[in-house]
A = this chain, B = another copy of it.
Amino acid sequence: MLGDDQFRKLTAPFLCRLRTLVPLTPHEERFIETLDLPPHVFQAGAHVNKGGSLDFTPWIVGAGWACRLRVLPDGRRQIVSFFLPGDTIGLSEVHHPAIQSTIVAMTDLRLLNSTRLAEAIDRADQSVPNIIQACRMSVIWMQARLLDQILRLGRLTALERMAHLLLELHYRMEDVGLAQDGRFPLPLTQSQFGEALGLSLVHVNRTLQQLRRENLIELRPGRVAILDRERLELLCDFRKPAI
């Protein structure tokens, strides 16, 4: 279920991600490429941070998708954020009980242990200054995406929310080299879209149909194509994450 990523180097997305933030020295590129292979594998549906000493391990997503999830006692579920290939888990953002959320693998997942990276950051290792700078920027990006999510849920209509989320995912996949020509793998069910966007499954379905009717996207299970990015951005006031 890892799709096209299966045979790529698992460090490639993270390298892409860092290079969108800062230029790296050859030494730094090697530092990343040697980060703890082989990967730790979680199956779709597994909890990445539920019990065990792995709870506080910092990871880099090599392949597959995960999400941060909050569940209410009555069963309502809210997806807070997504982790895509090249994202860090528990490094730029935080593992802590106070966060009261679970990290769930949405597909089969290959994670790289980034403890060495975390240590380098902690002691401000002078041999990898750009990496440290990039990770600092990455904290900011992650925060900005949380604010995006708040804006979507608080102020956008269903149609706008869906468009806005698709654009965010597109940009993120493009950044790590996993989107070509507006097309990228999208392993979300409509129910999961609903959990992320605060909508019911049924309404997600109707919203997606509307986007298709207007020739803004193409969607088949597991894959999406952004047909008219500009019009889609206009529709939902999406602001390209500049700088």
Contacts and interface: CB of A to CB of B under 8 A. Distances in A.
A235 interface: no
A236 to B, nearest CB: 9
Interface stretch (A23-31, A36-44, A73-81, A224-232): A73-81
A143 B99 contact: yes
A138 to B, nearest CB: 11
A233 B146 CA distance: 25
A140 interface: yes
A96 interface: yes
A215 to B, nearest CB: 24
A243 B97 contact: yes
The 9 closest A-B pairs by CB, nearest first: A154-B198, A153-B153, A78-B154, A78-B155, A153-B154, A76-B155, A96-B140, A98-B144, A146-B146
A147 B94 contact: no
